[in-house]
Amino acid sequence: MTDGLRAVGLVLLMVLGLLVLLVVLAVHDVLTPDDGDRRAADVGRQTVQELAADLEPGYAEPLDAENLAQRVVDESASGVTVLGWEGSSGTDEGAVVEVAIRAQVEGSQSGWFDAGSTAGRSLTCWRFTVHAGEHDGAATYEEIGCPDDLDRAPAPDPTPLPSLGPDAEATVLAALDELPPDATPADAESSLRSAFPEFVDVRAEREDDELVAAVGVMRSRDCVVGVRPDGDPAWRYSAFDRIQLEPGELGCAPGLYLRPITTH
């Protein structure tokens, strides 16, 4: 009987000890502010993932690293600094862009059952590598050491990517309007190719009484889709989802109008 009582007592002591430990841990969590530097580091890592996704949307044609570096400058939030760039996405080594990412979070006041959080900051540097033709959705990246003087980082000044130009819509519609009523897709393509530089892609299709032409530059995601109904003036169709212009999708083609795809 005595042994049984002793065993029960030991079990109760163990349970009581566990309860005390849980209370101590809970009180510690309530009284200890969330670490600001850790939260800032989390913000920095999220920025890294967003940059990786932005830098490699599956470029089908090579881009030099300076153009990609300029994209970082144009589209990134404050706290991102381009440190350097090298190469082209069309080589085995790929286009390399190095950036510094500063993240800062403010502290918050404590309250009932909330210890608040401390202010914090984070500084990390990363090397992104981009390869043309990859469709994995993100550039590869690795953390690197930060230079001593971030303020001396160069500013990218790339040669602008080829584009259609501001008068592209007017040119496409005028060319379609000048065609005879019974014009074929080949007629439309011939007329439009003579109106644009060689790097511009031109495609045309006819369906029933509509002649549809698509004129675009894949590298800059430029695209004008013109629709010329027989007997009526040509007009521009632009109600397509621009994700269709990305590599691996339909691209700038008459099908954007003739066979529309809903992506959301």
**Hey, what are 233's tokens?**
């003036």
**pLDDT of 135:** 60
Lowest-pLDDT choice from 51-65, 182-196, 219-233 = 51-65
Confidence of residue 159 (pLDDT cuts 50, 70, 90): confident
Confidence of residue 137 (pLDDT cuts 50, 70, 90): low
Confidence of residue 29 (pLDDT cuts 50, 70, 90): very low
Q: What's the chain look like in SS3?
A: CHHHHHHHHHHHHHHHHHHHHHHHHHHHHHHCCECHHHHHHHHHHHHHHHHHHHHCCCCCCCCEHHHHHHHHHHHCCCCEEEEEEECECCCCCCEEEEEEEEEEECCECCECCECCECCEEEEEEEEEEECCCCCCCCCEEEEECCCCCHHHCCCCCCCCCCCCCCCHHHHHHHHHHCCCCCCCHHHHHHHHHHHCCCCCEEEEEEECCEEEEEEEEHHHCEEEEEEEECCCCCEEECCCCHHHHCCCCCCCCCHHHHCCCCCC
- Quick one: average pLDDT of 166-189? 94
pTM of structure: 0.57
**pLDDT of 60:** 58
Q: In this prediction, what percent of the chain has a pLDDT beyond 70?
A: 77
Q: Does residue 131 carry a pLDDT above 70?
A: yes
**Which of 2-6, 137-141, 212-216 is modeled with the greatest confidence?**
212-216
**For the chain, domain boundaries:** 31-152, 168-258
Mean pLDDT for the chain overall: 81
Q: What are the φ/ψ torsions at residue 122 (nearest 5 degrees)?
A: -145, 140
* C-beta of residue 96 within 8 angstroms of C-beta of residue 65: yes
- Model confidence pLDDT, tens digit, residues 182-209: 899 999 999 999 999 988 999 999 999 9
**pLDDT of 189:** 95
- Quick one: average pLDDT of 140-154? 86
Q: pLDDT: is 147 or 248 the higher one? A: 147
**pLDDT of 195:** 93
**pLDDT of 126:** 93
**pLDDT of 25:** 40
Confidence of residue 30 (pLDDT cuts 50, 70, 90): very low
